[in-house]
Amino acid sequence: MSNDTSLKTAIDELKHSLSENAWTESLAEIEPHLKEWRDRWQGHTPLLLTPRTTEQVSQALQICTKHQIPVTLQGGNTGLVGGQIPLGEILVSTKYLKSVREQTDYSITVEAGCILQKIHELADKEHKHFPLSLASQGSANIGGLCSTNAGGVNVVRYGSMRDLVIGLEVVLADGRVFDSLNLPKKDNTGYNITPLFLGAEGTLGIITAVKLKLFNKPKQQETLFLALDNVENSLNILNICKNQLDDDLSLIELIPSQALDFVTSNIPNCSSPFTQKHAWYVLLQFESVLNSSLLKQVEALVETLLNKNIIQDAVIAQSLQQSKALIKLRESISEAQKPEGGSIKHDISVPIKTIPEFLDKATFAVRALVPNCRPIPFGHLGDGNIHFNISQPVNMDKEEYLAHWEAMNHIVHDIVVQLGGSISAEHGIGILKKKELAQRCDPVKLAAMKSIKKALDPKNIMNPRVLL
């Protein structure tokens, strides 16, 4: 059979096998799934599958494997590297797999389409805490967050998704279901398969359910916004925090002056907490279940930083509302860049001690390539993950600027690799970095990844354009 004939046969079989609410050919319903928020990719698909159960996912993949029809997987469509956008493949959305299967004192089991914000709310009702936090939590779903091993702002204390997942339910390419949701805590029966799917970007199977760790809800929480005149002092802040309040440090984020300017200019109801402008800022949050003297310790920390001239000014949030306002300044940076025109973005990590060196070298290199471009390096100081985004020069044409994307990526990633870092810290590889991964990845690791892919998806139907 020709490919067109195979596709038509597969579509007919999918429509016949699945209930009518589990698929659509309506262009109006499909259209919102074909674009991502950066507008870099415009997709197309002959069929959108919207399964409501794990069994329907299994049925669909059995049919697609039988006819060797590739599928693209999509969660909340908040991905930033293009992996969720179909270019002719059948599109499988997990957004209707959203049941809460079980909640206990220290775990919650939810289906892949459950929105992160809902998980926060469910945990909060039981006076528990799920710590993954990121700007898109109102639309990002847990299956996609697992597939990309999402990090967010609390990695410094709680780790990424790999550290927060207890077990998974995953439908493999041939329709078989791998289930580690209810394994005992001590299980030493061979390979630990579960972590393979965390960060695999949908290339090994479809995550349909997740068992997550919950933590005791903090009783004390303090949020600070610090002003400093050089980025080297941000490392001094981190070191002093670890020495004085290591167990309570949950968030430490680096923000440059230009980023705060963008936010206060372009995002409504946002203003700087300081009357003067400073070169750099650090957002901090401490939380404790038991520490009743946390505020006094935080005040002592600020006094130490001021006395040592590590910071020039500080604000400690006096209310939950002010705390949320300070955090919003950080969460709004990406959105605030949009009105400034084209932005070339990098999601990289380097050893923490090399952050100042990376910023100096990368800033010099991108400005040599595009004079007057505006670097906006911000992000997760505690784990070395910097979002090195570069906004276009004020008077430059957007398309002319974005034509430098590949050259600028190459320059920045060369510096990252020289410093022993990673070209993808938390957003994944997707389509965007696939070519660079092939060029830069350890060949032994790359060969092992390809072997795993071939073993679990021998007909290469699962997100075949992504990662490898």
- Residues 51 and 155 both lie in one domain: no
Q: How is residue 348 annotated by DSSP?
A: E
- Residues 183 and 286 both lie in one domain: no
- Residues 49 and 111 both lie in one domain: no
pLDDT digits (tens, 9 = 90+) for 120-145: 999 999 999 999 998 889 999 999 99
Provide the residue range defining the domain that includes 406. Answer: 341-429
Percentage of residues in the chain having pLDDT higher than 70: 99
Q: With contact defined as beta carbons under 8 Å apart, do 14 and 23 qualify?
A: yes
Residue 81 lies in a domain: yes
Distance CA 245, CA 237 (A): 11
Helix (H) or strand (E) holding 110: strand 107-111
Any idea what the CATH number is for the domain that residue 302 is in? 3.30.70.2190
- SS3 state of residue 356: helix
Helices (H), 18-160: 27-30, 54-66, 116-125, 142-147, 155-158
Residue that terminates a domain, selected from 51, 70, 96: 96
Distance CA 321, CA 19 (A): 46
Residue that terminates a domain, selected from 189, 216, 243: 216
- Residues 104 and 92 both lie in one domain: no
- Residues 304 and 404 both lie in one domain: no
Could you tell me which residues come within 8 angstroms of residue 185 by beta carbon, excluding any fewer than 6 positions away? none
Q: How many domains does the chain have?
A: 4
Any idea what the CATH number is for the domain that residue 52 is in? 3.30.43.10
- Joined tokens for residue 462: 């699962």
Question: Sorting pLDDT into bands at 50, 70 and 90, what band is 40?
Answer: confident
pTM of structure: 0.92
pLDDT digits (tens, 9 = 90+) for 160-179: 999 999 999 999 999 999 99
Residue-level pLDDT at 1: 34
Residue-level pLDDT at 48: 97
Question: Sorting pLDDT into bands at 50, 70 and 90, what band is 291?
Answer: low
Any idea what the CATH number is for the domain that residue 197 is in? 3.30.465.10
Residue 455 lies in a domain: no
- Residues 31 and 131 both lie in one domain: no
- Residues 313 and 408 both lie in one domain: no
Any idea what the CATH number is for the domain that residue 351 is in? 3.30.70.2740
Q: Which of 44-58, 372-386, 419-433 has the lowest mean pLDDT?
A: 419-433
Residue that terminates a domain, selected from 96, 114, 135: 96
- Residues 135 and 122 both lie in one domain: yes
- Residues 83 and 185 both lie in one domain: no
Polymer length of the chain: 468
- Residues 37 and 110 both lie in one domain: no
Residue 131 lies in a domain: yes
Question: Sorting pLDDT into bands at 50, 70 and 90, what band is 442?
Answer: very high
- Residues 348 and 324 both lie in one domain: no
Residue 462 lies in a domain: no
- Residues 302 and 212 both lie in one domain: no
Residue 468 lies in a domain: no
